Amino acid sequence: MVARISQWLDNIPRGIASKLNFDGDTISRFAADFGSINHSAPPTAVFRPSSAEDIAALLRFAYDSDSPFPVAARGIGASTRGQAFAPGGVVIDMAALRVGGRRISVSVDGMYVDAGGEQMWIDVLEETLRHGLSLRSCVDFLYLSVGGTLSNAGTGGTVFRHGPHVSSVLELDVITGKGEMITCSPELHSDLFYGVLGGLGQLGVITRARIGLCSAPTRVRWLRLFYTDFDSFTRDQEFLISLPHPAGFDYIEGQVLPNHQQVDDPTFYTNEDTERINQLAAECDRMYFLEAAVFFDSTSEADQKVEGLLTQLNFNPGFAISKDVSHLEFLNRVHIEITHKQISFMTGDSNDTCFHPWLHLLVPRSRIRDIYNGVFKGILQNINPKGLMLFYPMNKNRWNDAMTAVVPDDEEVFYTVEFLWTAATVEEWKNFEARNNEILEFCDRQAIKFKKYLPHYTTQADWERHFGLAKWEKFVQLKQKYDPKAVLSPGQQIFSVIEHQAKPASMHA
Ligand SMILES: Cc1cc2nc3c(=O)[nH]c(=O)nc-3n(C[C@H](O)[C@H](O)[C@H](O)COP(=O)(O)OP(=O)(O)OC[C@H]3O[C@@H](n4cnc5c(N)ncnc54)[C@H](O)[C@@H]3O)c2cc1C
């Protein structure tokens, strides 16, 4: 097991020691995350770097030490299962790198942006928009860090066309578990480049990402189409993601509203819309909405395109709600809604009492009906829905299998099925957790070959199953090459150290 930092505190070079924080409040903030679920041992210290070189120095020290200690980069702490924790070790507060100003630089000629791994997407986007450029793919919530997102994948409603965030990355600066600073790309140290993308923080700390951009549209027509028939809903979603650019929508997501769940979003619906939709919700067991958007510069072209597309869809007549917004307002919609409702989002505040036992599944298209029958109509039949259930398809050919990020095998189309529960009490959280376990057991019983997004496992067998044997073996090799003492991101519970060599976690639990 890696040693606790306190064993060699005395040996820390002054340049590193001056940036370590041992204050009790700070420590407890970095022992909590958005999920509020996992409570392992707190870190011994929180490191506030002023530069990427500081991070390299810390990691070199951890690696060279006789008693290596765990180190985890933390973006915003938006994880739900302690993935950015470093029990007994050091958490790097990446946000400290934002203090000296935005490390974001746009190349208009190159159509890319260089962004520090600590930057939040909202800041990256605001900077690119100043140059008339935008991100090709975008997460739904822009107050996430670049490094934390790229360590997972970065999904959202444009993935069906442009792939996840990781697909737009052209180059990275990475500091490995040995403290080496390496610039990597598809041509340079490509094993590290692809390994880090979706690599769950296991191979290095991303300190800069070069991300490809596209022209920013002037406006966005944002639509929600309501369905009471599941098959029409999924058929339309799949039809829409099959359309080649520029024929279809530019963004497609969807939500399931179980058990008469009502809509409540004054940033999108008028009072009259809300009343009509909620009347429909009262009349049926489950309702669905397909969320779509067209990015446009000319209103008449958008009118024509949307009209043409809507005639081919089978939503409940009269239940297409739309509005035109700026590109930024559209991409920042989740934050705008959260702010409007005055919901507190945990950005490192340990006083937050909400629990978020989220479960994200990626499910092959052919098994979606089984999820409908067994989960929506079965396991979740009588739940009191608190939170969101996102449900939309993606094209597998937009994901690069060379990356560590994992998606279901075999089928060309898979769905993201996300149970984004919010629990106000421990009892509620445990109830949701019990439902999550039932869902997972159901999928296993039915041999549904799902993959988890933002995965959380604790045994080697589960991680091996998650990655699949070939990818797992490659990942273990990369770990041994770039973080051989398994210093990095121990909160993911994938590897730990035995005799100074990274081993899969459960071999020496
Ligand atoms: C409200 C909300 C909305 C969300 N919406 C989306 C969405 O639309 N799409 C989506 O894909 N995800 C979404 N997520 C999930 C999000 O992508 C993950 O939580 C992700 O981990 C990013 O959060 P973070 O930046 O706080 O990273 P953290 O939670 O701090 O870290 C996540 C992991 O990455 C590691 N890490 C952090 N920074 C770095 C770095 N610079 N280099 C290497 N490793 C690093 C950490 O050690 C940890 O293992 C959402 C989460 C929330 C709470």
What pLDDT is recorded for position 340? 81
Residue in 55, 80, 142, 145 to alter for ligand 1 test, most ligand atoms within 8 A of Cβ: 145
Report, as an integer, the average pLDDT of 276-296: 96
What pLDDT is recorded for position 474? 98
What pLDDT is recorded for position 344? 61
* Same domain membership, residue 416 and residue 310: no
Report, as an integer, the average pLDDT of 217-244: 98
Phi first, then psi, for residue 424 (nearest 5°) are -90, -20
Can you give the CATH number for the domain in which 40 is found?
3.30.43.10
Q: Has residue 345 been placed in a domain?
A: no
Question: Which of the four pLDDT bands, split at 50, 70 and 90, describes residue 383?
Answer: confident
Nearest CA residue ID for atom 11, ligand 1 = 154
Question: Which of the four pLDDT bands, split at 50, 70 and 90, describes residue 385?
Answer: confident
* Same domain membership, residue 250 and residue 206: no
Q: Are 299 and 291 in contact (CB under 8 A)?
A: no
What pLDDT is recorded for position 67? 84
- In the reported structure, the alpha carbon of residue 368 is separated from the centroid of ligand 1 by a whole-number distance in angstroms of 27
Report, as an integer, the average pLDDT of 297-302: 96
Q: Specify whether the backbone of 219 is left (phi greater than 0), alpha (psi in -120 to 50) or beta.
A: beta
Amino acid letter, residue 420: L
Q: Has residue 370 been placed in a domain?
A: yes
- The domain total for the chain is 4
The overall longest dimension of the chain from CA atoms, in Å, is 71
What pLDDT is recorded for position 39? 80
Total length of the chain: 509
Q: Residue 372: which domain range? A: 359-452
- In the reported structure, the alpha carbon of residue 68 is separated from the centroid of ligand 1 by a whole-number distance in angstroms of 25
Nearest CA residue ID for atom 12, ligand 1 = 154
Residue in 55, 59, 74 to alter for ligand 1 test, most ligand atoms within 8 A of Cβ: 74
Token couple for 445: 């019983």
Residue in 94, 151, 341 to alter for ligand 1 test, most ligand atoms within 8 A of Cβ: 151
pLDDT reading at 232 higher than 50 = yes
Report the chain's mean pLDDT, rounded to a whole number: 93
Q: Has residue 461 been placed in a domain?
A: no
Nearest CA residue ID for atom 43, ligand 1 = 205
* Same domain membership, residue 29 and residue 131: no
- In the reported structure, the alpha carbon of residue 74 is separated from the centroid of ligand 1 by a whole-number distance in angstroms of 9
What pLDDT is recorded for position 498? 41
CA atoms within 13 A on the CB side of 62: 34
Kind and range of the H or E element at 287? strand 287-296
Using one digit for the tens of pLDDT, what is the confidence trace for 340-349? Answer: 876 665 533 4
Query: Closest ligand 1 atom, CA of 207?
Result: 41
Kind and range of the H or E element at 21? strand 20-21
Q: Has residue 463 been placed in a domain?
A: no
pLDDT reading at 217 higher than 90 = yes
* Same domain membership, residue 224 and residue 205: no
The domain boundary residue, chosen from 176, 192, 215: 215
* Same domain membership, residue 199 and residue 230: no
pLDDT reading at 95 higher than 50 = yes
Report, as an integer, the average pLDDT of 316-332: 97
Question: Which of the four pLDDT bands, split at 50, 70 and 90, describes residue 38?
Answer: confident
Can you give the CATH number for the domain in which 133 is found?
3.30.465.10
Question: Which of the four pLDDT bands, split at 50, 70 and 90, describes residue 497?
Answer: low
Using one digit for the tens of pLDDT, what is the confidence trace for 440-485? Answer: 999 999 999 999 999 999 999 999 999 999 999 999 999 999 999 9
Residues near ligand 1 (Cβ within 6 A)? 34, 72-79, 83-84, 94, 117, 139-141, 144-145, 147-149, 151-156, 200-201, 205-206, 454, 489, 491-492
Q: Has residue 349 been placed in a domain?
A: no
* Same domain membership, residue 142 and residue 71: no
* Same domain membership, residue 223 and residue 211: no
- In the reported structure, the alpha carbon of residue 327 is separated from the centroid of ligand 1 by a whole-number distance in angstroms of 23
Q: Has residue 231 been placed in a domain?
A: yes
Q: CB-based contacts of 370: which residues, under 8 Å, 6+ apart?
A: 446, 448
pLDDT reading at 501 higher than 80 = no
pLDDT reading at 7 higher than 70 = no
What pLDDT is recorded for position 12? 86
Q: Has residue 326 been placed in a domain?
A: yes
* Same domain membership, residue 486 and residue 415: no
What pLDDT is recorded for position 393? 98
Query: Closest ligand 1 atom, CA of 338?
Result: 1
Report, as an integer, the average pLDDT of 497-501: 50
- In the reported structure, the alpha carbon of residue 35 is separated from the centroid of ligand 1 by a whole-number distance in angstroms of 12
- In the reported structure, the alpha carbon of residue 143 is separated from the centroid of ligand 1 by a whole-number distance in angstroms of 10
Question: Distance between CA atoms of 321 and 269, rounded to whole angstroms?
Answer: 8
- In the reported structure, the alpha carbon of residue 230 is separated from the centroid of ligand 1 by a whole-number distance in angstroms of 31
Query: Closest ligand 1 atom, CA of 174?
Result: 42
Q: Are 399 and 164 in contact (CB under 8 A)?
A: yes
* Same domain membership, residue 235 and residue 131: no
Residue in 120, 141, 165 to alter for ligand 1 test, most ligand atoms within 8 A of Cβ: 141
The domain boundary residue, chosen from 150, 182, 215: 215
Q: Has residue 412 been placed in a domain?
A: yes
pLDDT reading at 507 higher than 50 = no
Question: Distance between CA atoms of 300 and 324, rounded to whole angstroms?
Answer: 13
Residue in 33, 54, 79, 394 to alter for ligand 1 test, most ligand atoms within 8 A of Cβ: 79
* Same domain membership, residue 225 and residue 206: no
* Same domain membership, residue 384 and residue 436: yes
Using one digit for the tens of pLDDT, what is the confidence trace for 65-89? Answer: 888 999 999 999 999 999 999 999 9
Can you give the CATH number for the domain in which 400 is found?
3.40.462.10
Nearest CA residue ID for atom 40, ligand 1 = 147
- In the reported structure, the alpha carbon of residue 148 is separated from the centroid of ligand 1 by a whole-number distance in angstroms of 4
Question: Which of the four pLDDT bands, split at 50, 70 and 90, describes residue 376?
Answer: very high
Report, as an integer, the average pLDDT of 342-360: 69
What pLDDT is recorded for position 348? 38
* Same domain membership, residue 202 and residue 109: yes
Query: Closest ligand 1 atom, CA of 164?
Result: 11
Q: Specify whether the backbone of 447 is left (phi greater than 0), alpha (psi in -120 to 50) or beta.
A: left
The domain boundary residue, chosen from 215, 244, 273: 215
